[in-house]
Amino acid sequence: MRVAIYPRVSSEEQQERGTIKNQIEFALKYCDLHQLNIAEWYKDDGVTGTVPLQDRPAGARLLDDAKAGKLDMLLIYKIDRLGRSARVILNAVYDLEQYGVKIRSMTEPFDTGDPNGRFLLTILAGVADLERETILSRMWLGANRAARAGRWLGGITPYGYFVNEEGYLEINDNHLPGMDMSEADVIRLIYKLTVEQHYSTIKVADYLNALGVPPSYVKDGRLLKRGKRKVNTAGIWRPARVRNIICSTTYKGIHEYGKRSNKKRDLITREVPAIVSAADWTRAQKVLRENQLDSTRNSKNHYLLRGLIKCGTCGLTYCGINYAATYKQTEKAYYVCNGKTIYRGPLQGKCTSKNVPQWWIEGLVWQDCVDFIQNPGEALKELAKSMKGRQSQKGTLVAEREMILKAAQEKEAEKESILDLFRKSIISSADVEKQLQKIAIEKSHLENRVKELELQIEDEVNIADQIISAEELLIVLRDKISGELSFETRREIVKALVKGITVETSVDENGRTHTVVSASYSFINSVIRTPKGSPHPPA
């Protein structure tokens, strides 16, 4: 009888500890005891049991040899060596039996050579599946509890942090090898260059590479795992890596656990030590958007209001499009809603908003800017008048913040009460899990609102400084418009004065389309409307 042995372990950790040798030694003793000659070994070392047999290196070779008639019996240490789910196990057994190969477990009382053995195999496969699912469920609940408590549950530690002995993230202020800065200093530098200098991610990456700052993989001497193949990284900062750091909420003190999970699950939001302030993080996001919108590498025409116009119908941004000349008309440029050019599925369809002629909208907005720069008095008076109302608004915001902080403290008390009930065996661990998750969600909402209020309070505090800066800015801008202006100078003026523009499109009972354009400025609001009686802006 031609006998083959199939040993398997499931992880690289088990592979390093050499646990597959235990199965090999047991098989040798078993075959010696039962006087069986081993024809071939099929070893899957460090291969998960959730993968079908035909997709494993040794498993695929085993099936090929079985199909070629080279085997009569396959010996396994336990049934779960064939797989970790009932479907994978039974499929493997079915495929091997089709080729005339009997399967025998060396530690379990079954043999597929008779009906009773096949029946017992089905039961053992179900038990193996149940055992795996039970273990995963317990690990899942335990991981969720640890995550809500703020523990770091493995994976790559974010740049700028380290995991302490208790398993929590801490800011890494230790100097990098051969440098006078720490990882946390590097993160602060990235945000400073972005917020204060308006550096692009490309420029930040080039600067860090010029300084010789090591990325995390080079610093730790780690390998980047891509699938099953391990390769060294290039050891340099890339713009995408810089962008990921700027966009990560971890650096403002909020980490979301479960974002990378393949399972459908609720995200767990927990606090971690912040390296940058929430205000700087928000400003950095704004700079990223501005840099993206200001990119003109693929633009043939200059659009003064690029990135500033929003569609009131679908909420997307208007972009500049140049329509080529035809035999009927000359070349014309328009601002067109992205919702008209991007397919968003059958439910939403394309946006029905009107195109806005470039010359028309730019002329109106630019004239508003010029008038404001030359005659700012009334606008600044209006802003000063509104300060009285803002003082009372600040008091309301502060009162709401104190109320929410008190409510957040009460959530902590609720958590302790629930844990007391669990310690007294009044409620189950599943009840605890559900209640703690509910409290965590409610507390997260409160904390997010507190951050919003603090930003609003900060804006109210700085309102007087805003008037002073407005006067200084207008003096500078007045000097700039006195001469011949380049596109870059006009663009700089528009970005300084225009907060945003909204295009509202409506259709009357006669089917005629009407467009209203509203422009919001930094120091006063105004509304630009189409000429009276005109169904749309001039074409």
Mean pLDDT in runs of 10 for the chain (539 residues)?
90 58 91 91 88 91 92 89 82 88 84 69 74 68 65 77 84 86 92 88 85 71 42 69 90 77 64 89 87 56 85 87 66 85 61 88 87 72 54 69 81 83 82 82 76 71 53 67 75 82 86 85 61 49
The pLDDT value recorded for residue 219 is 57
The boundaries of every CATH 3.90.1750.20 domain in the chain are 161-223+235-294
**What CATH number belongs to 161-223+235-294?**
3.90.1750.20
* Core vs surface per residue 73-108: b (16+ CB within 10 A) or e: bbbbbebbbbbbbbebbbbbbebbeeeebbbbbbeb
Q: Cα separations (Å) of 355 from 301, 362, 479, 503, 510?
A: 17, 13, 34, 9, 20
The pLDDT value recorded for residue 534 is 44
Q: How far apart are CA 165 and CA 184, in angstroms?
A: 19
357 phi, psi to nearest 5 deg: -60, 135
Sign of CA dihedral 45, 47, 49, 53: negative
Q: Cα separations (Å) of 232 from 217, 224, 229, 241?
A: 9, 6, 10, 16
Q: Around Cβ 71, how many Cβ atoms within 10 Å?
A: 23
Q: By the 8 A CB rule, do 47 and 12 touch?
A: no
Q: At what angle do helices 239-247 and 183-195 cross, to 10 degrees?
A: 90
Q: By the 8 A CB rule, do 520 and 499 touch?
A: yes
Structure-block tokens of residue 172 = 């890494």
The pLDDT value recorded for residue 188 is 93
Domain covering 3-146, topology? Rossmann fold (3.40.50)
Q: How far apart are CA 436 and CA 430, in angstroms?
A: 10
Q: How far apart are CA 524 and CA 529, in angstroms?
A: 17
Q: How far apart are CA 244 and CA 250, in angstroms?
A: 11
The pLDDT value recorded for residue 297 is 44
How is residue 124 annotated by DSSP?
Answer: H
Q: By the 8 A CB rule, do 43 and 18 touch?
A: no
Q: How far apart are CA 530 and CA 204, in angstroms?
A: 43
The pLDDT value recorded for residue 343 is 56
Q: How far apart are CA 415 and CA 430, in angstroms?
A: 14
* 278 CB-side CA count, 13 A: 15
| pTM attached to this predicted model | 0.42
The DSSP code sequence of 298-324 is T-SS--TTTTTEEETTT-PBEEEEEEP
Structure-block tokens of residue 111 = 């043999």
The boundaries of every CATH 3.40.50.1390 domain in the chain are 3-146
Q: By the 8 A CB rule, do 176 and 182 touch?
A: yes
